[in-house]
Every structure is written in C-alpha cells, then in structure tokens.
Structure 1
Amino acid sequence: MIHLAKRVILQTINDKRSVMMILVAPLLILTLIYFLLGNSDYVPTVGVDKSALSNPLVTALEEQDLHVRGITKDEDQDATEYLKDHHDVDAILTLSQSSGMNITMYEPSTKGAKAASEIQAAMASLNPSAKIEMSYVYGTQEQSSFDSLGYVFLALFSFFLVFIISGMALVRERSGGTLERLLMTPIKRGEVILGYTLGYGVFAIIQAILVVLYAIFVLQLSSAGNIGWILLTMVLLAVTAVSFGATISIFASSELQVVQMIPFTIIPQVFFSGLIPLDLIPYHLGNLSYIMPIYYGAAAIKGVMVYGDGFFQIWGYLLGLVIYTCLLYLVNSQALKKFRKI
C-alpha cells in the first residue's frame, strides 16, 4: 500500500500539468474571484432635475456615495430615452404628483442596484416611511434569474461542451496515430485543420440550433430581438469553440491533460461572459474580455435577447468571433508542423 502511494505521488509530481491544476489553478481562480467579486469602489451616477426636488433631498443625495448629475425637465420626463443615450448614468430619480418618487434604471444590474441603494439611503434620512417605485428600460424587477442571465448560459454551455468534445477527440486522433498517418500524405496542414473544423463544426452547429430553440420555445426564455441573429451568433461561437479546442489539444498529449487545462482556459472566461459588469472590475481587468471568445458571443446574444438589437448593432461582436476563428486556424496550421515527419 505504501509503495503504491509513493508511486502515485511520484507520478503526480512528474506531471507538471497535474501539479499546476492542484496547486496553482485554485489560487489563480480565487484571485480572479477576489478581483471580480470583491468590494468595488465604483460610484454610481444619478440624474436628477434639481428644480423638481426639494433642496434638502438634493443635499442628502449629494452627501451619499453618488455622482449627482443635473438634467433638464424634458430629460427628466423622458428618462427612458435619456438612459438609452447616456450609458454612463446608472439611474434617474423623478418626482411626479401621480406616482410619487420613481427610480428608472437601464436594466437590472449591480450598478443600478448600488445607485438605488444610495438613493434609498438619502430618502430614509429625510423620511424613513417614503416609498420609491422602481422601473427599468429593459427587463423587469420581477423577472427570474434565468430570464436575466439566460444569454450567458447559452454562450457558456455551447462553447464549453463543444470545446471539450473537439479537444478530446483531436487528442484521441493523435494518440491513435491517425493524425500522423494523415500528415504523411500530400494533404496540406491547413486542409487538415479545415477538415476537422468542418467535421466537428457540423455537430457544433446542430447543438447550437437545438439549444437556442429549446431555450426559447420550451423553456420560454424571452428574446426581444430576431431569433435568427441568436442562431447565427451561436453557430459562430460553436465554430470558434471547435478551433479553440483544436488549439488546446495541440498542447495536450492525453484527454486528461485537456481537462487539466480547463481551469486556465475556460473558467476565467466565465467571469467575462456578462455575469459581472466589466466596468466594475478593478485594475482595468475588464479589458481582458477582448481576448476571450465567450465575451463576443455572450455580448451579441445579450444585445439581441435583451435590447432587441439587429445586425448593425452586433456586427462588431460577430466580426470578433470570425477574426478569432481565423487566428486560431493560423495557429493550428503552424502548430501541426511538429507532427509532420519530413
């Protein structure tokens, strides 16, 4: 028994990837979570028509952890359009004789919740029994977590599952000698990559279409935009996942090693998929989203499902996925040189 335990320990120590996954990966993920979910020094901005509010209330708002921005009477009355044009404003506080106090926010979010909390604290300091109604430009306070974050799960599940299947399958092809024998023929490296991408891409596309249709028509996930743009985004994201899996498989010699790379390649992307507002992440770490394919897919899907965007609003994200896939194709083609016997 002792000898067996020693052999397992020595084998694990000699496997650098296992050591990294056991010792380094948890520290990396915990550090990332600390930065993303730790206390944020973000100060929300609230728009108010100061002429419509009492001086004590304006003073109370300014004493809170808020940026108070003055807006005109017309902007105050059309808060929805104002928030659509001014994304740097997190909420608008309005006062009317019919509905009383109302906080209008762009969408349910961490930033809007913080702004509402500070406004309520200011109101409570003057009138603890005051009631404030809340409304959103997009979404409602009553919607479920699945409705508000469904677009994230569509992107994550599609990308992760396709990545696992394609990455492991390509490693199996190489360990079985199929890839080496194929490269001994006159076929070009680029054609090999395209062949694998198209082959696994077919199943990835079918999965993407099935997931979208099931989520919308069976699970009743609401979508404000055209379902066709969601399908297109999911297809591009699935093809990118195939290429991403092929890239990771090049640096893995077994299926286990593909799994070992998940903490470093997939889990960090989860935090940049829309679960957390990027401008709340300290040290400008939100900019890391631009090197993560899930960000482009999730942002495009959110635009369609939440905001009702069309092609002209999401084309930049779609282009990002296309560029990402092309870059991975070039990387994969070059990496196959080490498997071709000359």
Structure 2
Amino acid sequence: MIHLAKRVIRQTINDKRSVMMILVAPLLILTLVYFLLGDSGYVPTIGIDKNTIPSSLVTALEEQDLIVVDVKNHDSQYPKDYLKDHNDVDAILTLSKSSDMTITMYEPSTKGAKAVSEIQTAMASLNHSAQVNMSYVYGTKDQSSFDSLGYVFLALFSFFLVFIISGMALVRERSGGTLERLLMTPIKRGEVILGYTVGYCVFAVVQAILIVLYSIYVLQLSSVGNIGWILLVMVLLAVTAVSFGATISIFASSELQVVQMIPFTIIPQVFFSGLIPLDMIPYQLENLCYIMPIYYGAAAIKGVMVYGDGFLQIWGYILGLIVYAFILYVINTQALKKFRKL
C-alpha cells in the first residue's frame, strides 16, 4: 500500500498539469471570485423629478450612496421609455397623486436591487409610510430565477458540452495515430480542421435545437424574441466551442489533460456570461469579457429572449462569435504543422 501511494505521489508530482490543477487553479479561481464578487464600489444612479418629490426625501436620497439625477416632468411620466434611452440610470422614483411611490427599473438585477435598498433606507430615515410599488421595463418581480438567468445556462451548456466532446475526441485522434496518418495524405491542414468542425457541428446543431425547444416549450422559459435568432446564436456558439476545444487539445496529450485545463479556460468565462452585471465588476475587469466567447453568445441570447432584440441589435455579438471562430481556425491550422512533420 505504501509503495502504491508513493508511486501515485511521484506520478502526480511529475505531471505539471495535475499539480497546477490541484495547487494553483483553486488559488487563481478564488482570486478571480474575490475581485468579481468583492466590494465593487458601484454607486447606483436614480432619476427623480425634484418638483414632485418632497424636498426632505430628495435630501435623504442625496445623503445615501446614490447618484441622484433630476428628470424632467415629462420624462418622469414615462419612466420605462426614459430607462430605455438612458442605460446609465438604474431606477426612476416617481410619486403618484395618492402619495404612493413607484420604483421603475430596467429589469430585475443586482444593480436595481442595490438602488432599491438605498431608496428604502432613505425613506425609512424619514419614517415614510407611503406604499412602494415595483415596476420593470423587462421582466416582472414575480419571475423565477430560471426565467432571469435561463439564457446564461443555454449558452454555458451549449459551449461547455461541445467543448469537452470535441477536445477529448481530437486528443484521442492524435494519440491513436489517426491524425498523423491523415496528415500524411495530400489533404490540406485547413480541410482537416474544417472537416472536424463540420462533423462535430452537425451534433452541435441538433443539440442547440433540442436545448432551445425543450427550454422554451417544455420548461416554459420565457422568450419574447424570435426563436430563430436564438438557434443561430447557439449554433455559432457551438462552432466556436468546437474550435476552442481543438485549440485546447493542441496543448493536451490525453483526455485527462483536457479536463485539467477546464479551471483555466471554462470556469473564468462563467463569471462573464451574465451571472454578474458587468457594471458591478471592479478594477476594469469587465473588459475581459471581450476575450470570452461565452460572453458574446450569452449577451446575444439575452437580447433576444429578454429584450426581444432582432438582428440589428445583436449583429455585433454574432460578428464577435464569427471572428472568434475564424481566429481559432487559423490558430488550429497553423498548429497542425508540428503534427504533419511527425
């Protein structure tokens, strides 16, 4: 038993990837979580019509951790339209003729919740007894967490599962000598990559259709946009996942090593998929989202499902996925040179 344990320890120590996953990966992930979920210092912005809100309440709001902007009377009467045109404002506070307060937010979110908390604190300091109603441009206060974050899981499942299957399969092709024999033929390196990509994308398309239809029609995940755009984004995300898996497999010599790279390649992307509002990420780390393929897919899916966006609103995210997939295709094609020399 002792000899076996010693052999396992020696093998693990000699495997640098295993050591990194056991000792370094948890520290890196915890550090990332600390920066992303720590005190962001985010200060919500609320809009009020100072001519209709009692001056005592205005003063109390300005004393809170809030940025208070004055909204014209006409705009305050149509708070939802105002929020659509002013993404920098988190909530609009209005007072009805019956002295009831209404807080209108763009959608249920962490930013909105923080704004509501500060408003309620200000009202409590005045012993304000007015009833407070919540209103949203998109979504409702009664919607489930699944409805709020369902688009995130569509993107994550589509990307992660295809990435795992394609990455492991390509490593198996190399270790089994299939790729080496294939590269000994006149076939071009670009055709090899395209062949693998198209082959796995057939299953990715089926998976995308199944996931979307099941989520919307069986699990009743709410979607206000055209389902066709969701399917298109899911397919593009799957294509990118195949290319991403191929790139990762270049640096792995076994299926286990592909799994070992997940903490460094997949887990960081989860934090930029929409689970955390980018505005609340401190230290300018939100800019890392532009190198995360899941960000483009999740943002596009959210635009269609939550906001009812069409092509004109999500074309930038679609272009981002296409560019990402093309860059990975070029990298993978160039990387095959070292295998052709074998």
Return the TM-score normalized by structure 2: 0.99
Distance apart, 1:127 and its partner CA: 1.8
The match for 1:194 is: 194
Q: CA RMSD in A?
A: 0.9
The match for 2:247 is: 247
Q: Deviations over 1:58-104 (max 9, x none)?
A: 10000000000001000100000000000000000000114710000
CA contact (8 A) 2:171 2:252 kept: yes
Given residue 75 of structure 2, which amino acid in structure 1 is its aligned partner? E
* C-alpha distance in 1 between matches for 2:281 and 2:159: 23
Distance apart, 1:341 and its partner CA: 2.4
* C-alpha distance in 2 between matches for 1:129 and 1:53: 14
Distance apart, 1:121 and its partner CA: 0.5
Given residue 163 of structure 1, which amino acid in structure 2 is its aligned partner? F
Distance apart, 1:128 and its partner CA: 5.0
Query: Does 2:38 correspond to 1:38?
Result: yes
Query: Does 2:92 correspond to 1:97?
Result: no
The match for 2:117 is: 117
Q: Deviations over 1:241-284 (max 9, x none)?
A: 00000100111000000000000000000000000011111110
SS state of the match for residue 103, structure 1?
A: strand
Given residue 127 of structure 1, which amino acid in structure 2 is its aligned partner? N
Identical counterparts, % of pairs: 82
The match for 1:72 is: 72
Given residue 269 of structure 1, which amino acid in structure 2 is its aligned partner? Q
CA contact (8 A) 1:184 1:341 kept: no
* C-alpha distance in 1 between matches for 2:224 and 2:310: 10
The match for 1:285 is: 285
Given residue 268 of structure 1, which amino acid in structure 2 is its aligned partner? P
* C-alpha distance in 1 between matches for 2:234 and 2:287: 23
Given residue 157 of structure 2, which amino acid in structure 1 is its aligned partner? F
Structure 1 runs (4+) deviating above 3 angstroms are: none
* C-alpha distance in 2 between matches for 1:53 and 1:219: 43
CA contact (8 A) 1:102 1:133 kept: yes
SS state of the match for residue 221, structure 1?
A: coil
The match for 2:178 is: 178
Q: Deviations over 1:274-309 (max 9, x none)?
A: 000111111100000000000000000000000000
The match for 1:318 is: 318
Query: Does 2:305 correspond to 1:305?
Result: yes
* C-alpha distance in 2 between matches for 1:253 and 1:115: 50
SS state of the match for residue 47, structure 2?
A: strand
Classify 1:99/1:205 alpha carbon distance in 2 versus 1 (closer, same or farther; 3 Å).
Answer: farther
Given residue 144 of structure 2, which amino acid in structure 1 is its aligned partner? S
Given residue 228 of structure 1, which amino acid in structure 2 is its aligned partner? G
The match for 1:126 is: 126
CA contact (8 A) 2:99 2:130 kept: no
* C-alpha distance in 2 between matches for 1:85 and 1:221: 27
The size of the alignment, in residue pairs, is 342
CA contact (8 A) 1:44 1:90 kept: yes
CA contact (8 A) 2:100 2:130 kept: no
* C-alpha distance in 2 between matches for 1:140 and 1:133: 12
* C-alpha distance in 2 between matches for 1:51 and 1:341: 77
Q: Deviations over 1:22-60 (max 9, x none)?
A: 000000111111111112211100100000011111100
* C-alpha distance in 2 between matches for 1:97 and 1:54: 13
CA contact (8 A) 2:53 2:95 kept: yes
The match for 1:227 is: 227
Given residue 16 of structure 1, which amino acid in structure 2 is its aligned partner? K
Return the TM-score normalized by structure 1: 0.99
The match for 1:329 is: 329
* C-alpha distance in 2 between matches for 1:103 and 1:269: 33
- Higher mean C-alpha displacement, 159-168 vs 3-12: 3-12
Distance apart, 1:181 and its partner CA: 0.3
CA contact (8 A) 1:47 1:93 kept: yes
Q: Deviations over 1:7-28 (max 9, x none)?
A: 1111101100000000000001
* C-alpha distance in 2 between matches for 1:137 and 1:108: 9
* C-alpha distance in 1 between matches for 2:57 and 2:313: 39
* C-alpha distance in 2 between matches for 1:99 and 1:336: 70
* C-alpha distance in 1 between matches for 2:40 and 2:14: 41
Classify 1:55/1:128 alpha carbon distance in 2 versus 1 (closer, same or farther; 3 Å).
Answer: closer
CA contact (8 A) 1:124 1:130 kept: no
SS state of the match for residue 284, structure 2?
A: helix
Query: Does 2:303 correspond to 1:339?
Result: no
